[in-house]
Amino acid sequence: MGKRRKSLCPELLRKGKMKKKELEKFEALLLEKRKKLISEMGHLKKAVLETTPKDSAGDISSYSYHMADQGTDAMEREKAFLLASKDGRLLYHIDEALRRIKDKTYGKCLECGKPISRARLEAVPHARLCINCKEKEEKEKLKQGQ
Ligand SMILES: [Zn+2]
């Protein structure tokens, strides 16, 4: 009896708390990644935004009327475009990670709340899940995809 192990040892918890210096390190890492990504996406975005209306169906007048009708449409379209692309989603996750650095919640798994390992964060600084939850998520995705 009473032999149950605690799921979180104190040392892990202590380690899981990020020091300011570490947060700054990851912030710099994320900002660097973000900069690179945006400069790569710049070309892509331009290409997509320039070709979209003219290439579709040809009814430009009704299209632009629709655009004028909804003031935020361009922004929504840009957001949708960002999230539709792999780079865009990455950018989104980087921004979310930067926000978590500001909140001081960075480095914790969003699913189970346990600290994400340093090695994982160094490889994937925008990681939002610990490796266990990530694996679970991947498995779920596979199931849904079939
Ligand atoms: Zn987790």
Ligand 1 centroid to Cα of residue 101, in Å, is 18
Q: Which residues, at least 6 apart from 128, have a Cβ–Cβ distance to it below 8 Å?
A: 93, 96, 97, 100, 109, 110
> DSSP code of 135?
H
Contact (Cβ atoms closer than 8 angstroms) between residue 116 and residue 127: yes
**108, β-bridge pairs:** 115
pLDDT of residue 41: 81
Give the C-alpha separation, 135 to 126, whole Å.
Answer: 16
Ligand 1 centroid to Cα of residue 145, in Å, is 22
pLDDT of residue 65: 47
Ligand 1 centroid to Cα of residue 129, in Å, is 5
Ligand 1 centroid to Cα of residue 139, in Å, is 14
pLDDT of residue 78: 73
Segments of the chain scoring below 70 in pLDDT: 1-17, 44-72, 146
Q: Rounded to two decimals, what is the model's pTM?
A: 0.64
Ligand 1 centroid to Cα of residue 136, in Å, is 9
Ligand 1 centroid to Cα of residue 138, in Å, is 13
pLDDT of residue 56: 47
Output the six-digit token pair for 143: 């199931």
Helix, coil or strand: residue 11: helix
Ligand 1 centroid to Cα of residue 111, in Å, is 5
Ligand 1 centroid to Cα of residue 112, in Å, is 4
